[in-house]
Structure 1
């Protein structure tokens, strides 16, 4: 079959959407399908990229290095008339995504959309809470014009159903358990952080920005220092708050963006993953921490609710309870035996989340949409 995947972010850009979509595309190709990727042109791109339609991109405010795609409606329509896809997956709700949805509908091609980002929550995090209802209405309008809205958790599927989204469907997320593994723990890297064998290292991986609720991560670390005065804190990532947080916290390690094996070493070299974000639709980093054998403290939603067993793989905290988040950090910091047990349990809990299985489920869903739209077509 031929599938089209439309996304406004793609590696080497580092974010959960880009990496998830790349994994899905690779999985479908490995299953023998042709993939027609549509995305904005990136600075490193040449004139042509294999199996990819490049459109003009524009800088995304507040997100240096990321771009949104131009609404290339005519280009998409002409491209898909020449090579008609059996189904289209639209991963992002930007101008390119809206144009792709219109082009697919005009050609009677089934469309699945992915809801990866809670833009309504972002309104609150950036001080525009009064715009939350408008953002939700905009999201609902976009996704309801497709044939299915793919989400990563049952919790979000149920929430969208209550909010009158027409056909939310769960597609589990995978984690690369070969890349993210406890064996990647690196003594020399820990030493560069000022951490010896017995030093507790708290780590956060993600964008250093307001929506990640990093003041709570810092508060939890300062509290656990009262239990473990020698403890270290490492932030992996970049973002607009890095400079101000680094200036205010000169003892914190800011490791910058890490990719691939380097990211895996950073994860596995931590002892406790602090993830206080309340704006994720999922939170891939939760699975990556668990795969790396790092106990995690997170709020009770998204990946944590779906996969993290409270008291076994880390601590799930009632959503929004900052005091409980801090208390959980202090509790785990004081119990090395519990941390070691959680390290083993966390790794074991994600063994079944293999990318091949998720690709097979994604393939089956797209084929179902194609057959429903055109039941008499011969689909490979």
Structure 2
């Protein structure tokens, strides 16, 4: 099958972690289909280096500069998109901003749209931009089928869309083997995610201080980067945590897996997610997760594999972490990983997309 994957979210040299889940989808689909990626890229995230890097990518990608707030660039992108639609079997779009230029394009092939945007399920996390939500939600009515990564996101989409809406989760590959808990003098906590307000890394640092006060000399290792990096460092130093807080920066998949293998517990005081890939990844690696309760993670976090925290306070997160770290007997890493198993494996995700494509063909044929 020939698939055009059109997206505004995709990694670039300047933003290597942006839209990494879309890249994983493209690579997964390319195992069985002929996939062409067209990235409607923010001009500020493109550089001359991308052309060289893209030549070596497993899935071909064409970059079209487009700011989602510039009407002229959106119209120009629409003109460049049309030729890509002349010889494909399925249009696969990801991210709601991708739908903007398609307002000026007639789509005559089965169309599946994949949505991840957390503002649809957590509008309060985007401030004044939520005023545009009524307009943006209407864009979701055009595709034949829409998929969301969890019911938490699918439900608000269904409320504004008459057509089929399916759940196809994010890809969370299982490790070949699950490393046992590392043990050691002090628990090692890991947080994987951007150092941004929504992930609330300051609360994680303050919760760590409370663990120390409770007699657990834990360390906290951040995997990720962002605008709050200096604030996190300053808060850690002010609380006397010093080397107990490690800012490791962005890591590749191998680096993330190594951090999870070395950790006792995953801690992420997120204020809102749709799926929270990093928490699911921690669990399939056998590490219990302490995460905020606002999001799709509540569909897979259980008493055995973690805790959902309903109060956005250091005390609440520290209490949940203490409860898990002091469990006796402590569930094995294999037992924690088994709570998810292959539920989010590449094979399951591929099956979900295949079913969505089939339904899109049926919807299109019935018009």
Calculate the TM-score normalised by the size of structure 2. 0.83
Residues 156 and 319 of structure 1: CA distance in aligned 2, closer, same or farther (over 3 Å): farther
Partner of residue 361, structure 2: 370
Task: Describe how 1:141-160 pairs up with structure 2 within 5 A.
Answer: 141-160=138-157
Deviations along 1:167-198, whole A, 9 cap, x unmatched? Answer: 4321123311137x53398x8xxxxxxxx823
Shift of 1:149: 2.3
Task: Describe how 1:101-116 pairs up with structure 2 within 5 A.
Answer: 102-103=104-105, 106-116=106-116
Matched, 1:86 2:95: no
SS in 2 for 1:169: strand
Alpha-carbon contact 1:58-1:70 (below 8 Å) kept:
no
Deviations along 1:76-123, whole A, 9 cap, x unmatched? Answer: 112322x2x2221211223x44214642xx132232222212236776
Q: Determine which of 246, 271, 287 is the counterpart of 2:233.
A: 246
SS in 2 for 1:176: coil
Partner of residue 219, structure 1: 206
Partner of residue 347, structure 1: 337
Calculate the TM-score normalised by the size of structure 1. 0.80
Cα RMSD after superposing both structures: 3.0
Shift of 1:288: 0.8
Residues 27 and 328 of structure 1: CA distance in aligned 2, closer, same or farther (over 3 Å): same
Partner of residue 63, structure 1: none
SS in 2 for 1:30: coil
- Following superposition, which runs of at least 4 residues in structure 1 exceed 6 angstroms of deviation? none
Shift of 1:19: 2.7
Shift of 1:350: 2.4
Partner of residue 299, structure 2: 306
Residues 123 and 351 of structure 1: CA distance in aligned 2, closer, same or farther (over 3 Å): closer
Alpha-carbon contact 1:205-1:237 (below 8 Å) kept:
yes
Q: Determine which of 59, 62, 69 is the counterpart of 1:53.
A: 62
Q: Distance in 2 between matches of 1:101 and 1:366?
A: 21
Alpha-carbon contact 1:202-1:234 (below 8 Å) kept:
yes
Matched, 1:18 2:19: yes
Q: Which runs of no fewer than 5 residues in structure 2 stay unpaired?
A: none
Q: Distance in 1 between matches of 2:274 and 2:135?
A: 17
Partner of residue 258, structure 2: 265
Deviations along 1:253-284, whole A, 9 cap, x unmatched? Answer: 10000002111101221111112212211110
SS in 2 for 1:144: coil
Alpha-carbon contact 1:23-1:355 (below 8 Å) kept:
no
Q: Distance in 1 between matches of 2:269 and 2:153?
A: 18
Q: Distance in 1 between matches of 2:314 and 2:184?
A: 30
Q: Which runs of no fewer than 5 residues in structure 1 stay unpaired?
A: 61-67, 188-195
Q: Determine which of 137, 147, 155 is the counterpart of 2:134.
A: 137
Q: Determine which of 248, 261, 264 is the counterpart of 1:255.
A: 248
Q: Distance in 2 between matches of 1:244 and 1:69?
A: 36
SS in 1 for 2:338: helix
Partner of residue 6, structure 1: 6
Shift of 1:372: 2.6
Matched, 1:318 2:321: no
SS in 1 for 2:9: coil
SS in 2 for 1:182: coil
